[in-house]
Homo-oligomer: A and B are copies of this chain.
Amino acid sequence: MTATETLEAPAPVVIEHPHHRKLVIMAWSGDLDKIWPVLILSSTAAASGVRCRVFVTFWGLLPFVKDEKGIVGENWMQKMLTLMQRPGIDHLKLSKMNFLGMGPWMMGTLRKQYNVASPRELLEAATALGVEFIPCQMTMDMFGLKREDLIDEMGEPAGAATAIEIMTEADASLFI
């Protein structure tokens, strides 16, 4: 092992244990008020010793685009979609009560006042704790997203058959 290698954080090792409980979350929404429960539940699950896999699909994939990207997509329609819902974890909108940004701003202020973690902080905690985020291949195709457009912490893209398999063998599955 070289000095350079020791500087890198080790990837979280998920050991499948027969007594491990398992949670699967289908993260479909890209709204701030839905991303919050996805990240709070997944990081809390991992912290409680529950193996948690998050299948990230449709609007839910856009918050997992790298923030420096801005506009993503290969053709004008895909670029337009990402203009309408800005990708990245730091600029999410509420599902309602946006009022030109006042709703999300109030939520952010209340959140800080009561020491609730931000989506970015929760995402870092979740990946550090070993939550596995699986991007939906079909969504990547339709939105023109390449693997390098997504944050590095995501796992390999997969399809609906994988989603079905992990859900039916989990102890609980949620569609958020």
- For A159, the closest partner residue in chain B by CB is B44
The CA of A44 and the CA of B78, in the complex, are separated in Å by 26
Chain A positions 83 through 121: 1 when the CB is less than 8 Å from some CB of chain B, otherwise 0: 011000000000001000000001101110010100000
The CA of A77 and the CA of B24, in the complex, are separated in Å by 34
* A45 CB-CB contact with B under 8 Å: yes
Residues of B near A47 (CB, < 8 A) are: 161
The CA of A34 and the CA of B114, in the complex, are separated in Å by 28
Q: Decide: A138 near B167, CB < 8 A? Known: A97-B85, A110-B78, A160-B41.
A: no
- Which chain A residues (16-66) contact chain B, with CB distance < 8 Å? 21-24, 26, 28, 33-34, 36-37, 40-41, 44-45, 47-48, 50, 57-59
* A142 CB-CB contact with B under 8 Å: yes
Chain A positions 144 through 176: 1 when the CB is less than 8 Å from some CB of chain B, otherwise 0: 000000000000000111011101111111111
State whether B109 touches A77 (Cβ < 8 A).
Answer: yes
Total number of A residues with any Cβ neighbor in B under 8 Å: 54
* A81 CB-CB contact with B under 8 Å: yes
Residues of B near A24 (CB, < 8 A) are: 172
State whether B37 touches A26 (Cβ < 8 A).
Answer: yes
Binding site for B on A (CB under 8 A): 21-24, 26, 28, 33-34, 36-37, 40-41, 44-45, 47-48, 50, 57-59, 77-78, 80-81, 84-85, 97, 106-107, 109-111, 114, 116, 138, 141-143, 159-161, 163-165, 167-176
